[in-house]
Amino acid sequence: MNFVEDYYDFSILPYTMDISVLNNITFIGNSKGTTTFDYRNNKRGRFIFTYSNHIEKSQTIKFENIKFINFDPLNAGDTEMIILQSNTDNFYFIVNNCHIQNNAYRFLRVDYKCNKPSHNNTSILINNSNFSKNTEGIIKIYHRFDYGGSSLAKCVPIEINKTKFINNTGLFMLHYSNLIFNDCYFSQIGKAVYDKNPIFFIYSNNYNEYVTINNTIFSDIIIKETEPLINVKNVNLKIYNSKLQRCHSNFGYLIHIKNTGDISDDQFITIKNTTFSYSSSIFHGDKIKYEIYDSIFENFIMKISLPLLSDSKYSYFYIENTIFRDLRLTNGLFGEESQYDLKNIELNNIQINSRSLLYFLYNNISINSLTAENIRCLGDGDTGSFILFNSGETNRTMVINNLNVKKSFSNGSFIKIIGNSNQVEITDSSIDRIRSFGPIIKNDSKNKNTL
């Protein structure tokens, strides 16, 4: 269907246009990209597409070169502009080069049933589009199923490419979903509320979500409420080649992950080649596996006593080829009650006003190749240390190889070791031009073995 005019008044249409999808359907605006569907602050003209359950061949709905503006459901809940209904995952929906702006409710709801995926293709695809000044959300997924399983979230992959989201609220509600962003831009994200739950960027109260963020920028996002930007349970989150800058939340952390089970390979956070700057602390949540590679954390000024990266307990962090620089902290880099494996780490120009920059508690620790320069540990009295390792009552080890520190200062011992029983190995290392009020290395453990 070709829409060649510049303007269409949707407020004169029926409340809903119920369409049974038996074949592919395409809605194409004019080549100038000026075709506008104007709802004129009304809810008439909604699309409800029901995909056939009796045809083995999949069907595709496509919108292209169209502006959707001024939709308002007039306080009616779950009244989206477009609703997709299917009893299988064998359907497709595509949006190309569209503008969705000044709408007072969600653009899309997907209501489907799937127990396990029948294909690996992207089901929902949005390309080269713009979302601006929309309230109460962008997309809601409602996934029906007869039985659970790890493959539920892979049923209907959603991919959003080269799309801008500026000044929107409550963007994505997921329900056992797989959401992928490529080359997108997000700014000025505000709050929407659904069933008394506050929503900002991504919200899910379910037990398995997949979110992948590639080559994407998050910039100038200020959350005045005590809520995170991302609020999910048991997410598998990947952030690659992206930037997060000037993003703040009064919650203290930007990403809250509620892991409902024990730490496992099924729940993980992976960050690669990503820069975080001028923002709040990043992760809040326990029993999670983190892998961070080739990334930068810079220009943070922390005014509240939270760790920079995460306060996670009972978690595992592997961090490699990563830089932390130009930081003013009131707590350490990490939460102390997790296991850390650090490799090729650079610390530069960091000031901390607490007991230690690197505080490790009750866990085995491995540090291989860490360089640090211009570190100032200014804890009260004699408590400010560069490394504080507390093994607790159980025998623990800290192995440090190729540590190179220079031009730094601490109010206490530069490296301090306490606990009932531990073994500490420091090899092939250099500690140069350090000023400390106490020994450079001090082991106050009851049963100790320092090499």
* Structure confidence by residue, pLDDT tens digits, 99-130: 999 999 999 999 999 999 999 999 999 999 99
Token duo for residue 324: 């932390």
Q: Tell me which residue of 177, 65, 82, 43 sits closest to 130, measured CA to CA.
A: 65
User: What is the reported pLDDT for 54?
Assistant: 65
CA distance 233 to 71: 31
Task: Specify if 413 maps to a domain.
Answer: no
Domain of residue 55 covers 2-331
Q: Tell me which residue of 401, 402, 321, 309 sits closest to 359, measured CA to CA.
A: 309
Task: Specify if 347 maps to a domain.
Answer: no
Task: Specify if 53 maps to a domain.
Answer: yes
CB within 8 Å of 257: residues ≥ 6 apart: 230, 232, 233, 234, 235, 237, 269, 283, 284, 285, 288
Contact at 8 Å (CB) between 338 and 360?
no
CA distance 23 to 16: 20
Spell out where 204-274 has E strands.
Answer: 209-214, 217-223, 230-233, 235-240, 243-249, 253-258, 268-272
User: What is the reported pLDDT for 263?
Assistant: 63
Q: Which residue has the higher pLDDT, 228 or 420?
A: 228
Residue 430 pLDDT greater than 60, yes or no: yes
Task: Specify if 324 maps to a domain.
Answer: yes
Contact at 8 Å (CB) between 67 and 103?
no
CA distance 300 to 253: 13
Residue 167 pLDDT greater than 70, yes or no: yes
Angular region, 335: left φ>0, alpha ψ -120 to 50, beta rest:
beta
CA distance 245 to 280: 10
Task: Specify if 448 maps to a domain.
Answer: no
Task: Specify if 444 maps to a domain.
Answer: no
Task: Specify if 15 maps to a domain.
Answer: yes
pLDDT band at 33 (very low <50, low <70, confident <90, very high): confident
Contact at 8 Å (CB) between 319 and 341?
yes
Token duo for residue 274: 């990503």
Neighbours of 153 (CB within 10 A): 27
pLDDT band at 259 (very low <50, low <70, confident <90, very high): confident
CA distance 231 to 245: 19
Domain count, the chain: 1
User: What is the reported pLDDT for 254?
Assistant: 97
Task: Specify if 450 maps to a domain.
Answer: no
Contact at 8 Å (CB) between 388 and 358?
yes
Q: Can you give the length of the chain in residues?
A: 451
